[in-house]
């Protein structure tokens, strides 16, 4: 799903005309940095899309409190 969404997106030049493997390699090379700068993380593997939505919404609301 992600591949079809970002492949050939003119706003994502690093994804243009790349294979799934190339994009996966790019993601893996950046993943450590993404985790270093994340201010909040949660495990979404066991959550439904609706639960993920509400979890993110609560995070946004909590950050607006400050």
SS (H, E, C) 1-66: CHHHHHCCCCCCHHHCCCCHHHHHHHHHHHHHHHHHHCCCCCCCCCCCHHHHHHHHHHHHHHHHCC
The pLDDT, as a whole number, for residue 42 is 77
pLDDT > 80? residue 64: no
Q: What is the pTM of this model?
A: 0.55
Q: pLDDT tens across 27-59, in order? A: 899 998 988 888 777 788 889 999 999 989 988
Q: pLDDT tens across 2-15, in order? A: 888 888 888 988 88
């Amino acid at each position: 799903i992600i591949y079809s969404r970002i492949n050939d997106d003119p706003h994502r030049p690093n994804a243009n005309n790349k294979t799934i493997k190339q994009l996966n390699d790019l993601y893996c090379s950046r993943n450590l940095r993404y985790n270093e700068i994340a201010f909040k993380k949660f495990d979404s593997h066991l959550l439904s899309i609706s639960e993920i939505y509400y979890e993110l919404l609560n995070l946004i609301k909590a950050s607006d409190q400050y």
